[in-house]
Structure 1
Amino acid sequence: MTIYSGKCFCEAVEIEAEGAPEAMGYCHCSSCRSWSAAPVNAFTLWKPQNVRVTKGAEFVATYAQSELSHRQYCKGCGGHLMCDHPPLGLVDVYAATLPTLKFAPGVHVNYSETVLPIRDGLPKLKDFPAEFGGSGVAVSE
């Protein structure tokens, strides 16, 4: 299996993701935008057993924003690493954290909240897919 490595901004924390992500895409919700300080957040979703901290676990802090989002970052530099989604059984490793992973987005989620319309032909969902507790409703570009 392929192993993708990444690290925080100061390089105190290193992580690995093994295999292939379950999904990749963009999130447009206000929470992700605020956390990433960007108009859109690129995500890669992995099974938890395929993601591990290989160095600097003592520097990893977690901000449990909600039951759905446990955002993890480096205590040293504040660099964002990943977000655990316990109810979904998935971990979002931010796409920029894994520089050797070929990012191939398949969907836009929470597009009803977008501040940066993107016309790329990918499906745009109002919120989340139905299998993740959302409505699964598609919206136009």
Structure 2
Amino acid sequence: MNDEKSWRGSCFCGAVQLTVKGAPEAMGYCHCDSCRHWSASPVNAFSLWKPEAITIQEGEANIGTYNKTPESSRKWCKICGGHLMTEHPSMGLTDVYAAVIPGFEYQPGVHVNYQESVLHIHDGLPKLKDVPAEMGGTGVSIEE
């Protein structure tokens, strides 16, 4: 019996349905220019999952992909334009945008790429210049 918790999410129109299972590897906020532009927001709330924790339940043919760099494959619904996730092959993780998973208890633990921040958030969470050292960054903290 598999008692891992799962959550169902979808694009804006519901044509693409996905499920995430288990627990994410990390949750937080990204302030990089790419995430800000992609999300049309001053900050992106991420939840990073191992690819095997994500299943497309419906609408896989409706998923479009954009690669600005080899480091990210951004996915969206070709019908409504709703953003779904970003695959990060070099990290072996996929960011399923927190807003795409209703009912999921989002618990951010860090701000990444804070040196690029345009919206300074004073919440007591660690603020990293780029990303953690174990993910290829410097791991350098920036004061709130």
Distance in 1 (CA, whole Å) between partners of 2:109 and 2:37 is 22
* Aligned counterpart, 2:122: 119
TM-score normalised by structure 1 residue count: 0.99
Asked if 1:43 is matched to 2:64, the reply is no
When the two chains are superposed, the root-mean-square deviation of aligned CA atoms in Å is 0.5
Equivalent residue letter for 2:92: G
Structure 1 residue runs of 5 or longer lacking an equivalent are none
Give 3-state SS (helix, strand or coil) of 1:87's partner.
coil
- Out of 8, 12, 19, the residue aligned to residue 9 of structure 1 is 12
Give 3-state SS (helix, strand or coil) of 2:90's partner.
helix
Structure 2 residue runs of 5 or longer lacking an equivalent are none
Count, aligned residues:
141
Q: Output one character per residue of 1:3-28: Cα deviation in whole Å (capped at 9) or x when no partner.
A: 11100111100000000100000000
1:57-68 equivalent positions in 2, closer than 5 A:
57-68=60-71
1:1-141 equivalent positions in 2, closer than 5 A:
1-141=4-144
Superposed structure 1 runs of 4+ greater than 4 Å apart: none
TM-score normalised by structure 2 residue count: 0.97
Distance in 1 (CA, whole Å) between partners of 2:68 and 2:108 is 25
Distance in 2 (CA, whole Å) between partners of 1:135 and 1:20 is 25
Distance in 2 (CA, whole Å) between partners of 1:45 and 1:68 is 14
Q: Output one character per residue of 1:115-139: Cα deviation in whole Å (capped at 9) or x when no partner.
A: 0000000000000101111110000
Equivalent residue letter for 1:19: G
Deviation at 1:66, TM superposition (A): 1.1
Q: Percent identity?
A: 58
Q: Output one character per residue of 1:90-134: Cα deviation in whole Å (capped at 9) or x when no partner.
A: 000000000111110000000000000000000000001011111
